[in-house]
Amino acid sequence: MRPVLGLSSYLSFMDRLELTVTDIIQETRNARTFVLEPEREQNLSYQAGQFITFIFERHGQELRRSYSFSSTPRVDPFHSITVKRVANGEFSRFFTDKVEIDQQLLALGPSGRFTLEMSQERSRQIFFIAAGSGIVPVYSLIKQVIHDEPYTRIQLIYQNHSQKEVIFARQLANLAHARPTQFRLISLITDTAHGTDSKKLNIPLLEILVRRELLESQEHLFFLCGPASFMRMAQFTLRWMGFPEESIRRENFTVMPFQPPAPEIFDPGPKNLLLHYKGNIIKLEAAAGKNILQAALDRGIELPFSCRTGVCSTCAAKCLRGQVKMSNNEVLTESDLQAGLVLTCVGYAETDVELVF
């Protein structure tokens, strides 16, 4: 029988990984791939398209930042993330400027819902639409599809400012050459410095490219990753073209600079929470105006989280009983919501609730 843990129990359930940087690969002037090796007794198990959350300490405060895997399980013999240096990005500058081989890093277990279920017999068409460093989880997924679904057709529409900034340029060209009937690469460059025409992905161009490449008899999926405005444009275009919302997946790299305010709750009194996590049952109370994650953290119960703004899905749980109201949701699909999934970092109990992680 699983133990029931009350308010006085201090729990730190989250598995923390100790990772060693074993190699650093310069992809472009501003982007590097970091090969990671977990401690011998630890297992780094993940799916293509997922990310890992690193834990940093700054001025006595614990901070977290997530980076997508560029490696692919069962395809690559190593684990790796790829980071692009951002001028004002504290953590990206730390990785690209400071991290060295043999350095140890602390992280949480892999997470993320930007993934695919695979089947060797499946035949479908997948459009990957990426910009800049948004290629990182997309590259991981493309390698998985090529490995696991040989009959699926892949179209990659990849936007960059200049040819020098194309992350994985050589690897993608090699894949296109090796698998010409399965993988098609459409590279768009906006820089006109070398006399080439500027090609910026916009609504008319995306519609032209999708209609030109579309195989009508296939099941269609779309995976988007890039700046928020880029993904909004692509999502709007695809929905306008008639593709259902459930066929479009997004991965958000940009975290909101502040936590969304609590939504209005009809009954603002404290609510009882019953949480199933890591083989334990946890009972606690959430005060008015406090989200489920914060209620647990305040009691020393370390549930999984990263962005704390409803963007990344690290904190997702399934609601078995009761009602949860979210102040923001940038990642769960309609089918996720119908299945009872909620984001605890922006989820507020409207009634007594029971959740399983």
**25 lies in the same domain as 82:** yes
Q: At what angle do helices 203-213 and 228-240 cross, to 10 degrees?
A: 60
Query: What pTM was estimated for this model as a whole?
Result: 0.84
What span, in angstroms and rounded, lies between the C-alpha atoms of 124 and 177? 21
Note whether residue 42 is domain-resident.
yes
- According to DSSP, the β-strands at 31-38 and 271-277 are unpaired
Q: Which of 73, 108, 143 delimits the end of a domain?
A: 108
How many CA atoms are closer than 13 Å to the CA of 291, on its beta-carbon side?
24
**128 lies in the same domain as 219:** yes
Tokens of 316: 């997702």
To 5 degrees, how large is the angle CA 230–CA 233–CA 163? Answer: 40
Q: For residues 142 and 218, which has the higher predicted lDDT (pLDDT)?
A: 142
* CA pseudo-torsion sign 245, 250, 255, 257: negative
Tokens of 286: 């959430």
Model confidence at 36: pLDDT above 70: yes
Note whether residue 103 is domain-resident.
yes
pLDDT tens digits for 84-97? 999 888 889 999 99
DSSP character string of 96-118: HHH--TT-EEEEEPPB-S-----
- Residue found under tokens 């730390």: 94
**128 lies in the same domain as 246:** yes
**233 lies in the same domain as 262:** no
Note whether residue 189 is domain-resident.
yes
**238 lies in the same domain as 273:** no
Question: Could you tell me if 236 and 145 are in contact, meaning their C-beta atoms sit under 8 angstroms apart?
Answer: no
Tokens of 262: 């609590």
Q: Of the ranges 45-54, 64-73, 151-160, 332-341, which one carries the lowest mean pLDDT score? A: 332-341
* End-to-end alpha carbon distance in the chain: 18
Note whether residue 7 is domain-resident.
no
**133 lies in the same domain as 242:** yes
The domain spanning residue 205 has which CATH number?
3.40.50.80
How confident is residue 43, by pLDDT bands cut at 50, 70 and 90? confident
pLDDT tens digits for 213-247? 999 888 999 999 999 999 999 999 999 999 999 99
DSSP character string of 243-287: --GGGEEEE--PPPSSPPPPPP-SS-S-EEEEEEETTEEEEEEE-
Long-range residue pairs from 329-334, CB within 8 A, at least 24 positions apart, any chain: 330/250, 330/252, 331/113, 331/250, 331/252, 332/113, 333/245, 333/246, 333/249, 334/245, 334/246
Q: Which of 59, 80, 108 delimits the end of a domain?
A: 108
**135 lies in the same domain as 201:** yes
**243 lies in the same domain as 140:** yes
**45 lies in the same domain as 69:** yes
Number of domains forming the structure of the chain: 3
**Interval 313-321 mean pLDDT:** 94
**64 lies in the same domain as 41:** yes
Q: What residue numbers bound the domain in which 52 lies?
A: 16-108
Question: Could you tell me if 42 and 98 are in contact, meaning their C-beta atoms sit under 8 angstroms apart?
Answer: no
**193 lies in the same domain as 217:** yes
The domain spanning residue 343 has which CATH number?
3.10.20.30
Note whether residue 98 is domain-resident.
yes
Q: Which of 220, 251, 282 delimits the end of a domain?
A: 251
pLDDT tens digits for 48-74? 999 999 998 877 788 889 999 999 999
**51 lies in the same domain as 130:** no
Residue whose C-alpha is closest to residue 89's, from 108, 71, 66, 123? 66
For 146, 154, 192, 235, the CA distances from 140, given in Å and listed in that order, are 10, 13, 30, 21
The domain spanning residue 67 has which CATH number?
2.40.30.10
